[in-house]
Structures are given as structure tokens and as C-alpha cells.
Amino acid sequence: MRMKFWSLITAVFVLMALLLAVPMLTACGGDEEPTSEPAPTAAPEPEPTTEPEVAEFDVVKAAVASYTASPAPDIMAADLQLMIAEGDAPYIVSLRKAEDYAKGHIPGAVNMAFGEITTLPMDEEILVYCYTGQSAAYATATLSTLGYDVINLKHGMSSWSCEEDIYVTRFDAAKNQGDYKVETDVPTPGSYDPPALENTASSDADDIVLAAAKTVSDKYILASDLNMKIAEDEDMTIISCRSAADYAAGHIPGAINIGLGALVDNLDKIDPDNPVYVYCYTGHGAARGAALLQMLGYDAYSLKFGMCSWSSDPAINAGECYSADMCQGYATEK
């Protein structure tokens, strides 16, 4: 009996232990733990985009290339007189000094300084004139790169009026023509990087070209001064923008031949660290070239009166020089 009692007690204890263990086993095992939802992945932030840096030189170079592909023309005094007579005159601008404008000017002309040309109206055909046509050629090239419809009066006031107190100054072979050395040797140009332009903080193309245009001034060198610089072997670039045939017939010593239409393709031949002297026949084409080079950052000058001031030989100056019989004697007004 005693053994049965203790066996019964033992069985009760075992049963109670099992009953107590069941909840613990249920809690620790059995069902899988609930899975948590994964945290949403944040979308990657887009990298900030920056506008590509605008190279002022490239913008101005494109404007210059557009001009040289279709340069502003010269017209003769007779053509302008006919336009005025037919009531079809352009907006006429005199770039002469105020006191010379007051002595007599082309009918209807307004007077302004060279530095004011970028304020001209864009919606009219414009004709610019000066004394001999060279400063006006500077102006027409500059204005054309800005989109102006502009023309130049060939030989300026000296082609319009024959009165000395009106035209004031003109090419005179007795005073302005030399007989300096020419050569036929073709120099080997160097190779240079273009200058860097920093005229404006704007990245707008129109602003960049306008800022470059405002750097242009009508700068000249006389034949006697250029001859002296050559004799002293100064560092410089001399450019003939005459035809290849006329260049071959005889050119200023050391000059390289670059036509106006080929200017942008030959900038690597021009040293940006030294002055550039450009010449043509009478100075008109060289003034255009010098204006464009100034816009591109070069220290460029036009040879006053061109090859006509360098040589009296028609085989060299090509017979293009101004003569007094070119003046038309048209009326002026005050």
C-alpha cells in the first residue's frame, strides 16, 4: 500500500510538471515569429545639374564667322545719292567730329561718336560714314556681328564732297604714300592658342557678343611707324588680307596672307600676346579685320590707307588708291 501511495504521489508531480511546461513550450516554439514589414527604400536624390560653362571666345568666334561668311558691303557715293533722291535713304550716321559734322554733312545724317554705335536702332537699314571710309568700316564690321543691317560709304566724306573744309582729310599720294620695301618670300607662321575673353559675367550669347563689340575702337598705324617697327625687329604679327595673287606680287616684309573670309580658320597663326597689324588695299578691309580681331581679344590695328600708303608702284598697290577725281561734289547740309 505504501508503495502505491508514493507511486501515486510521484505520478501527480510528473503530471503537474508536464502541465506547467506546456505553456512555456508553446511560447518558445511552435508558431513562427511574426515578420516585420521592410522599411521603404528612399528614392535616390537626383544629382544637381550644372549648366555647361560658356566660353566667351567660342561665342564671339561664331559671330565673327557668321559675319565673314556674308560681310557688310561698301557702297559708292553715287549709289547713296540716288537712294536719297528716291526717298529710300537708310538711317545715315556720321562718325566724324562734331565740329566737322557742323561744317557740312550728308543730308539727313545724325552725328555720333564711335563708342556710341551699339546704341543705334536695330530695325532700320543703316549707312555709316566717316572721313575716308576706314573708321566706318570698323563700325560696320562691329555692328554686323550684332545683327545690324549696315553698309559703309566707300572713301567716306572724301567721296561725297570736293570741298576741303567739308571733307577735311583724305588720302593724298603726295603726303600719305611711301615707297617702303616689299618682299615675295612667304614666312612660316607660328602656332598659338587663342586669347581668353572675360568681358561679361553673363552666359547669354547676345550679351557676350555685345560685350565684345564694346571693346572695339578704330585703331591705326601709319606706314612710317610700321616700317620702323619692322626695322627694329619688334614682336608682332602682320596680316595681309589682300588676294593671294596680290600678296605674291609683293607684300610687307614678314606679313602672312589671311583673307577676311579665312580669318576664323587661321587664328592659330596669330600671336595673342603681341600687336597685330592688318593691311589691305585702301584700309577698308583691314579695318574690318582689325575690328573682328579686337572682338576676339587681339590688340589689332589697321594700316592707315592700306598698301596705297606703303608703295607707289601700281603693280604692288594694285591701282586701288583713292584719287581726287573720285569725289562727286554732292550737296551737304548744316
Question: What 8-state DSSP symbol labels residue 118?
Answer: G
* Residue 334 belongs to some domain of the structure: no
Q: What is the CATH number of the domain that holds 100?
A: 3.40.250.10
Residue 43 lies in a domain: no
pTM for the model: 0.84
Q: Has residue 298 been placed in a domain?
A: yes
In a domain, 36, yes or no: no
Q: How confident is the model at residue 269 (pLDDT cuts 50, 70, 90)?
A: very high
pLDDT digit string, tens, across residues 310-323: 999 999 999 999 99
Q: State what percent of residues in the chain have pLDDT above 90.
A: 83
Cell, residue 153: 560709304
DSSP-assigned letters across all residues of 185-249: --------PPPPP-S-S---HHHHHHHHHTT----EE-HHHHHHHHHTT-S-EEEE-S-HHHHHH
Range of the domain at 306: 56-326
Domain-located, residue 23? no
Residue 19 included in any domain: no
Residue 22 lies in a domain: no
| pLDDT average, residue stretch 71-85 | 95
Q: Are 250 and 179 in contact (CB under 8 A)?
A: no
Domain count, the chain: 1
